[in-house]
C-alpha cells in the first residue's frame, strides 16, 4: 500500500468516552479556624455571663459550682474568690454568739488574704442555691446585659430629676386585670370586681354622704417624692361633715409634724386650740395639696401627678377597740383606731356593694 493511501492520524487529542476516567485535580480545603481560636477570651467571658443564650441558663448550676470545682482552683484563685463570699461560708463563723462579742466581730471580718478554709457545705446550702438560680433567671431574662444596665441607669436618672414617673403598681395591675379587692366577709374576695375606671365616678362627698367616711375618722397620708428624696407623712382627723354639702372639715398639725395630739384622738374631743389648724375639703386631691402646702418641704413644681385616693388610709375604731383603746397604757397612736384600708379600696368596695 502506498503512503498516499494510508490513513492519516489526527493531531488533536480525542474526547474522552464515558468509560474513560477523567483526571481530577485534588484541592486541599482551607482549614477553618476554630471559633474559640479567633474569639477574644474577654468577649467569651462577657457572652457567658451576660448573654441570655449562654449555656449557663440551661444547665444545673450545681454541676459547675460545687466543692470539687472549688478544690480544683489554685490557692490564689480561692483567695480572690473568698472576698465575694459571705461570712457564713467559712468554717470559723460563729452565729450563736452575740453581735457585740469580740469573736463575732472577728468572724464577720472577711480578709481576702486569710487562709481560713471555706465550709464545703456552703455550696449545697439552700440560700446559696437559690441565689445561683436567681442569677440564671436574670441571665436568661437579659437583665445582665450592658443594654439593660443602660436602660436602668437612664430610668433611674429620669426618676431622680423628675422627667419620668414610675407607674403605681396598682395602676399597672388595673390596666391588665380586673380589680380584686379583699372583702370583710363571705368568701374573702369580691366576686365580680369592677374596673377602677367604673368606681372613679364616685366622689369623696359621696362616701361621706353614705357614711363610708364618718366624723372621728383619722386619715393618714403617706407619699414618697423620690425626685427630692422626701417622704411626707401626716395625719388628719375628720372633725365635721357638713350635712348639706357633705364637705369634710379636718384638723391637722402645722409644719412637717405627723401625729395629732392625744386630746384630738379621744371620743368627743374638745375644740382644737392653736397651733392646730383646720381645713375644709371635698376631694383627696384637694386634701393632698393642702397637706403638702402645710408641710412645706415639697414645692408645687416638684410634685408629680399621682392618684391621691391611694395615698390616704382610713383609721377607725372597730368592735370593742373603742373601750380597750384607753387603758392604763394610754390611747396609743391614732387613739386605738384600726386600719380599714385606703380610700381607693373603700371606694371600690362601696361601688361594688351599692
Helices (H), the chain: 35-38, 41-50, 67-72, 75-82, 102-108, 126-140, 146-161, 169-176, 196-199, 204-209, 262-265, 284-295, 321-324, 343-353
Banded pLDDT at 94 (limits 50, 70, 90): low
Between β-strands 218-225 and 230-241, what pairing exists: parallel, antiparallel or unpaired? antiparallel
**Which set of grid coordinates corresponds to residue 46?**
462577657
CA distances from 315 to 30, 238, 322 (A): 81, 11, 12
pLDDT in tens, 98-151: 555 444 444 444 444 445 688 888 889 888 999 999 999 999 999 999 999 999
pLDDT in tens, 68-81: 999 999 999 988 99
Q: Where are the domains of the chain?
A: 42-144, 196-353
Between CA 285 and CA 350 the distance in angstroms is 19
CB atoms within 10 A of CB 112: 12
pLDDT in tens, 267-283: 877 788 888 999 999 99
Looking at the chain, the whole-number percentage of residues with pLDDT higher than 90 is: 40
Spell out the residues 6+ positions from residue 144 whose beta carbon is closer than 8 angstroms to its own: 49, 50, 138
Sign of the Cα pseudo-torsion (197, 201, 203, 207, in order): negative
* Cα angle, residue 208 at apex, residues 203 and 213 outer, rounded to 5°: 115
* 8 A C-beta contact, residue 297 and residue 272: no
Q: What is the pLDDT of residue 118?
A: 86
**Which set of grid coordinates corresponds to residue 298?**
415639697
Q: What is the pLDDT of residue 212?
A: 93
CB atoms within 10 A of CB 294: 17
pLDDT: is 286 or 7 the higher one? 286
Q: Burial, 199: exposed, middle or buried (Cβ in 10 Å; 0-12, 13-18, 19+)?
A: buried
* 8 A C-beta contact, residue 302 and residue 226: no
Between CA 156 and CA 150 the distance in angstroms is 10
Between CA 269 and CA 135 the distance in angstroms is 57
Q: What is the pLDDT of residue 317?
A: 83
Q: What is the pLDDT of residue 20?
A: 52
pLDDT in tens, 293-321: 999 999 998 898 888 999 999 999 876 44
* 8 A C-beta contact, residue 228 and residue 317: no
Between CA 182 and CA 189 the distance in angstroms is 4
328, pLDDT greater than 50: no
181, pLDDT greater than 50: no
For the residues 22-46, what does the mean pLDDT come to? 64
DSSP H/E element including 314: strand 312-316
342, pLDDT greater than 80: yes
Banded pLDDT at 236 (limits 50, 70, 90): very high
For the residues 315-343, what does the mean pLDDT come to? 68
* 8 A C-beta contact, residue 251 and residue 237: yes
Amino acid at each position: 500500500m502506498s503512503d498516499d493511501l494510508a490513513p492519516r492520524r489526527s493531531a488533536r487529542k480525542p474526547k474522552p468516552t464515558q468509560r474513560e476516567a477523567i483526571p481530577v485535580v485534588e484541592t486541599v480545603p482551607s482549614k477553618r479556624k476554630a471559633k474559640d481560636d479567633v474569639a477574644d477570651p474577654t468577649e467569651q467571658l462577657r457572652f457567658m455571663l451576660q448573654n441570655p443564650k449562654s449555656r449557663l441558663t440551661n444547665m444545673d448550676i450545681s454541676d459547675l459550682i460545687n466543692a470539687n470545682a472549688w478544690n480544683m482552683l489554685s490557692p490564689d484563685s480561692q483567695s480572690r474568690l473568698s472576698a465575694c463570699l459571705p461570712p457564713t461560708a467559712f468554717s470559723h463563723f460563729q452565729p450563736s454568739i452575740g453581735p457585740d462579742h469580740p469573736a463575732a466581730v472577728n468572724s464577720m471580718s472577711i480578709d481576702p488574704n486569710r487562709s481560713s478554709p471555706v465550709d464545703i457545705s456552703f455550696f449545697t446550702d439552700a440560700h446559696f442555691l437559690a441565689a445561683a438560680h436567681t442569677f440564671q433567671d436574670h441571665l436568661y431574662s437579659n437583665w445582665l446585659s450592658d443594654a439593660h444596665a443602660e436602660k436602668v441607669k437612664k430610668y433611674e436618672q429620669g426618676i431622680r430629676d423628675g422627667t419620668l414617673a414610675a407607674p403605681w403598681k396598682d395602676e399597672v395591675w388595673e390596666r391588665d386585670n380586673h380589680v380584686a379587692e379583699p372583702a370583710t366577709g363571705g368568701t374573702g374576695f369580691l366576686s365580680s370586681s369592677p374596673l377602677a375606671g367604673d368606681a372613679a365616678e364616685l366622689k369623696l362627698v359621696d362616701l361621706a354622704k353614705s357614711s363610708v367616711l364618718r366624723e372621728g375618722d383619722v386619715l393618714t397620708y403617706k407619699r414618697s417624692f423620690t425626685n427630692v428624696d422626701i417622704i411626707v407623712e401626716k395625719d388628719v382627723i375628720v372633725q365635721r361633715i357638713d350635712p348639706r354639702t357633705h364637705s369634710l372639715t379636718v384638723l391637722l398639725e402645722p409644719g412637717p409634724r405627723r401625729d395629732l395630739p392625744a386630746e384630738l384622738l379621744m371620743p368627743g374631743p374638745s375644740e382644737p386650740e392653736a397651733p392646730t389648724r383646720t381645713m375644709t375639703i371635698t376631694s383627696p386631691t384637694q386634701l393632698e395639696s393642702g397637706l403638702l402646702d402645710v408641710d412645706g418641704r415639697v414645692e408645687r413644681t416638684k410634685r408629680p401627678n399621682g392618684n391621691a385616693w391611694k395615698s390616704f388610709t382610713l383609721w377607725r375604731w372597730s368592735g370593742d377597740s373603742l373601750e380597750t383603746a384607753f387603758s392604763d397604757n394610754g390611747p396609743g397612736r391614732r387613739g386605738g383606731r384600726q386600719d380599714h384600708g385606703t380610700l381607693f379600696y373603700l371606694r371600690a368596695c362601696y361601688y361594688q356593694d351599692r
